[in-house]
């Protein structure tokens, strides 16, 4: 049954990536009027490059967590089976 979750999770991941990109672009436009710099832009300052990277990483991680969790809940609601672990593994 959990194998059925794979395509469901894949589609949710793609949608989450698109959503995260839009949210990052909206957040970046509040920070700076220009496009976010790539690390290889010669004239971009360290501050702008690192700010863009941190903002992008945090945005993508948060949206991924939201989409993964909502997808698992939706799958559980539709199928009646939780697609992941029930409890986190304890460290020994």
**pLDDT tens digits for range 27-43:** 999 989 999 999 999 99
Domain layout of the chain by residue ranges: 8-79
pTM: 0.80
**pLDDT tens digits for range 7-66:** 988 999 999 999 999 999 999 999 899 999 999 999 999 999 999 999 999 999 999 999
Residue 80 zone, left/alpha/beta (φ > 0; ψ -120 to 50; rest): left
- Band of pLDDT at residue 90, cut at 50, 70 and 90: confident
Q: How far is CA 30 from the centre of its chain?
A: 20
Q: Averaged over 1-10, what is the pLDDT?
A: 84
Report which of 35, 73, 71, 75 is spatially closest to residue 56, judged by C-alpha positions: 35
Residues 50 and 55: their CA atoms lie apart, in Å, by 8
Rg (CA), the chain: 18
């Amino acid at each position: 049954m959990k194998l059925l979750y794979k395509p469901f999770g894949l589609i949710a991941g793609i949608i989450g990536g698109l959503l995260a990109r839009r949210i990052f672009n909206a957040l970046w436009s509040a920070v700076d009027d220009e496009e976010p710099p790539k690390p290889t832009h010669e004239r971009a300052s360290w501050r702008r490059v690192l700010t863009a990277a941190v903002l992008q990483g945090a945005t993508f991680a948060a949206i991924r967590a939201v989409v993964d969790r909502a997808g698992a809940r939706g799958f559980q609601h539709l199928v009646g089976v939780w697609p992941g672990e029930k409890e986190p593994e304890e460290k020994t």
